[in-house]
Structure 1
Amino acid sequence: MTSAAAKAGPPAAPRRGLHPDPVVRRLSWTVLVNTFGTGLFMTVSALYFTRVAGISVGRVGTGLTAAGLCAIAASVPAGRAADRWGSRRVLVVLSLVQAAGMAAYTLVHGFAVFLVVVCAETAVNSASAAVRNALYADTLPRATRVAGRAYLRAVTNVGIGAGAALAALALQADTRTAYDTVILANAASFVAVAAMLPGIPLAGRAPDDAETAPAPAARRGGALRDGPYLLVTGLNAVLAVQFAVFSVGIPLWVVRETEAPRAVVAGAMILNTVLVVAFQVRATRGTHDPRSAARACRTSGLLLAASCAVIAASHGLPAAAAALVLLAAVVLQTAGEVLSQAGGWLLSYDLADPAATGAYQGVFNAGSSAGFMVGPAVVTATALAHGPAGWAVPAGLFAAAGAAMAPAVRWAERRRPAVQDRS
């Protein structure tokens, strides 16, 4: 069946800097709006919860940990819902629920309400991520899917950066009105995304058929019984601990263990964002099948391990030298990041049952959420608790997970015919 985009004839020449695929361009606008709101909220959330809502730092941490557990639990049922009712339709509903949940943050005045709202909103956010990944499978052809996702991730960094820059105005004002305005702006971004989603065509099939035909019952539960896929998901979760190294490990290491100026933390974030925007698409060019994706993950594990070693080497150096060493570590970490993302995307799709994409994406997203949740604990209990020697633990985890990906993928490829035959 010919897609709607194909029936309309060749697309007009894109403007400079825009993606040549009109579907990717449409998706990029939804991503830009969504992540702009995310950047707004991420920048002010910690201060809002502690300074305006009056919640202690310890209780904020407890609430976020509970929310992380809810995020893990929400991914799988959301993916199954996408298989049953259509990823686009489910994502519209979830976006509207996210808008309501985000607006509810303005009503938080104590820990009990905060706990309810943060758990609900984080669970819906995780569910949306799983369904969005399924939507990419429904809208982007297999041959260009990973490259398309790389472009969207570059857009993500642009959106978050722009939102964070604007949120600086709210931080400067430091009033409840300013914070509430930012939160409601993020809520409005979810409404805008919900309005934009119906205009995105699904690839190679009629939208109505794609969104109403349920997946066979035998396939919907298969993701949790697919041992090789679960192993690949677990190894990817270990690699996801890298984000805690960047968001928790480096900032605290700079302040507590080095002579480097604190401005290095901001410099590291800017450098990482620029490099991801510049190189994420290029990192996908070598990942065209599961085995090349596994090699990308292996290289990623080695680069991430090297970045940990370089971070440790900054201990005891003079301020300028420590700053340069830390920025070099960020370059290594970012190189590992873009490779692990490229490899993980391809594996999450190509090793999945194509008739249950949502369920498989839900499982993969749950694994990533688990890595995000335990990452801060891993980094603080090893590197930050034991000094330079402690960085050997996350380094070893990254290298081992990357090395194990190739045999895990070979096992998954041997199992794929059996998974497909069960249907």
Structure 2
Amino acid sequence: MRPLTLLLIGVVSRLGAGIAATVSALYVTQVVGLSLRSVGLALTATTAVAVAGSIWLGHLSDRLGAREVFAAMFTMQAVATAGLVFVSNVPTYVVAVLGLAIADLGYRSSQGAVIHGVVPPEERLAVRAKFRVAANIGVAGGAGLGGVALAIGSPTAYRAALLTTAGFLLLTGALVFRLPRVPRVVTSEKQSWAVLRDRPFVLFVGLNGILNIHNSMLTLAIPLWIATRTDVPHWMVSVLLIVNTSAVVLCQIRLTRGTDSLRGAARAGRRAGVLLCLACVVLSLTTLGSTAVTITLLVIAALAHVTGEILESASGWGASYAVAPPGLVGQYQGAHAMGRGLGDLLGPTLLTAVALPLGPIGWLLVAIIFATAGSLTPVVLRPEATACRSGRARLSG
């Protein structure tokens, strides 16, 4: 029953996310009238604030109860999304997207802590993989619903879509309470920020965050590369998104198997770096052939990219569960979310400053970054000779 409830939470919440992702940017620029520069700066600044507070949000999951924080994050997302309807200028937009950014990072942290608390150890990675599959299905459905609003194109349709998103998120928050409570943890002052003293894990978080730059490849760099550096039809962007979503749905569960140990997580991280490196190398070749060759290379790059993406996620989940001491799961999930948030924050700048302007050489430089991060992952994920009392291996100091 618990896994089914978690999967339902994943589908319903991401239905809302898919709608919002489809309409929110166009709403604030075309209906409200904010400039692209203002929107970009606001999103960057608010994401940076949320990333800085990610560990604290994870700490709240330990202290207040992961289930309650998980539900609160959905409620916060609902309120902030509904708030977009009332945005009229940059300051009000900043307030709304700051709420969304904090809720998103808090959602990532508390989600991992909830799964850890309500799912048996041997099933956690499998359930988390299924949750991601369910989320992708939800996003795809939400994108279709958002497309209806775009087709209508009126301000009322945009606002109705955003309010529908808020409704889905409120429903998700209610669904969370169908899960058992996760016991609160009373920690000493010394334990409050223990994750920051776990230097091997902090290094892993940084490397995993670098690998997570792949998110910006799919949503930003590859579409711009296709539009400005190739002669293939722009609808290839949609084809590659479909390839990505389909591969996650079909392969996430299978490729996550075996990553519930430090050795497995390290191996997945190394392979993720190799595959993301390969994707960049293939992208560097897409300007050298005919349209048919370019399309073929783009599909190959997309397949390498999504396989690396799947393994990167599995590596992060496995390591963050394996090393977290009892009572500090929320903190470690918060740190993991912080690393991924840093990747999301740095990715657009790196790719638009290196890969796109420098062309093939730029992609090769990004390939080196991915390969380096992947190869260093096993170095920082060296298990100790003995396991901790909970039966999970811990990192050596």
Give the TM interval when normalised to the shorter protein. over 0.9
Cross-structure match for 1:186: 165
1:271 maps to which of 243, 250, 254 = 243
Residue number among 226, 236, 239 corresponding to 1:254 in the alignment: 226
1:195 to 158, 174, 178: 174
Residues in 2 aligned to 1:376 and 1:71: alpha-carbon distance in whole angstroms? 17
Q: Which residue of 1 aligns with 2:316?
A: 344
- 1:351 Cα deviation from its structure 2 partner: 1.3
Superposition misfits of 4+ residues, deviation over 4 angstroms: 414-420
C-alpha displacement of 1:212: 4.0
SS at match of 1:391: helix
Q: What is the aligned length?
A: 392
- Are residues 1:358 and 2:352 paired? no
Answer whether contact 2:354 2:363 (CA < 8 A) is retained. Answer: yes
> Which runs of structure 2 are paired with 1:247-396 in the superposition (5 Å)?
247-396=219-368
Deviation for aligned residue 1:304? 0.6
Matches of 2:341 and 2:70, distance apart in 1:
18
The residue correspondences of 1:25-36 to structure 2 (distance < 5 A) are 25-36=4-15
- Among 128, 135, 138, which residue is 2:107 paired with? 128
Rounded Cα–Cα distance in structure 2 between residues aligned with 1:286 and 1:83: 27
User: Hey, what's the Cα distance between the residues in 1 that align with 2:284 and 2:111?
Assistant: 37
Supply the distance in 2 between the matched residues of 1:366 and 1:323 (Cα, whole angstroms): 35
Letter in 1 for 2:154: T
Distance 2:261 2:183 in 1: 28
SS of the counterpart of 1:199?
coil
User: C-alpha separation between the residues in 2 aligned to 1:232 and 1:413?
Assistant: 16
Question: 2:211 maps to what in 1?
Answer: 239
For 1:345 and 1:315, how far apart are their aligned partners in 2? Answer: 36
- Aligned mates of 1:416, 1:188 — CA distance in 2: 45
Q: Is the 8 A contact 1:68 1:373 kept in 2?
A: yes
Q: Which residue of 2 aligns with 1:89?
A: 68
Q: Which region of structure 1 is more displaced relative to structure 2, 349-358 or 272-281?
A: 349-358
Distance in 1 of aligned mates of 2:100 and 2:256 = 32
Q: Is the Cα–Cα contact under 8 Å of residues 35 and 160 in structure 1 kept in the other structure? A: yes
SS, match of residue 183 in structure 2: helix
Contact 2:76 2:99 in 1 (8 A): no
The one-letter code matched in structure 2 to 1:115 is: V
1:198-229 per-position Cα deviation (integer Å, ceiling 9, x unaligned): 1113xxxxx4xx43442344323201111111
Equivalent AA in structure 2 for residue 138 of structure 1 = G
Does 2:204 align with 1:226? no
Partner of 1:112: 91
Partner of 1:16: none
Among all aligned residue pairs of Structure 1 and Structure 2, give the percentage whose two residues are the same amino acid.
33
1:344-394 deviations in Å (ceiling 9; x for gaps): 110011012222101111111011101111001111111101011111121
Which whole-Å CA distance do the structure 2 matches of 1:168 and 1:25 have between them? 28
Quick one: structure 1 residues 288 and 100, their matched pair in 2 at CA, closer, same or farther if it must change by over 3 Å? closer
What is residue 41 of structure 1 aligned with on the other side?
A: 20
Cross-structure match for 2:53: 74
Question: Shift of the alpha carbon at 1:416?
Answer: 7.7
Matched, 1:404 2:376: yes
- Mark the CA change 1:125 to 1:395 in structure 2 (over 3 Å): closer, same or farther: same
Q: Secondary structure at the match of 1:288?
A: coil
Q: 1 CA distance for matches of 2:78 and 2:148?
A: 22
Kept after mapping to 2: 8 A contact 1:88/1:211: no
Question: Can you list the C-alpha shifts for 1:172-199, whole angstroms capped at 9, x where unaligned?
Answer: 1111110111111111112111111111
8 Å CA contact 1:91, 1:132 repeated in 2: yes
SS of residue in 1 equivalent to 2:114: helix
For residues 403 and 212 of structure 1, what CA distance do their matches in structure 2 show? 37
Matches within 5 A, 1:132-171: 132-171=111-150
Q: Which residue of 1 aligns with 2:78?
A: 99
> What SS is found at the alignment partner of 1:382?
helix
| Structure 2 residue ranges without an equivalent (≥5) | none
C-alpha distance in structure 1 between counterparts of 2:375 and 2:246, whole Å: 28
Output the CA distance in 1 between the equivalents of 2:220 and 2:264: 31
Q: Which amino acid aligns with 1:297?
A: G
Q: Is the contact between residue 209 and residue 339 of structure 2 (CA under 8 Å) also seen in structure 1?
A: yes
Superimposed CA distance per residue, residues 256-282 of structure 1 (whole angstroms, 9 cap, x where no aligned partner): 111111111000000100011000000
Q: Distance in 2 between matches of 1:405 and 1:363?
A: 16
Mapped partners of 2:246, 2:2: distance in 1: 25
Q: Work out whether residues 95 and 194 of structure 1, in 8 Å CA contact, stay in contact via their aligned partners in 2.
A: yes
| Residue pairs, 1:406-421, within 5 angstroms | 406-410=378-382, 413=384
Q: Distance in 2 between matches of 1:396 and 1:353?
A: 34
TM-score of the two chains, using structure 2 as the length reference: 0.95
SS of the residue aligned with 2:53? helix
CA offset digits 1:76-105 (Å, max 9, x no partner): 111111101110012222222221111111
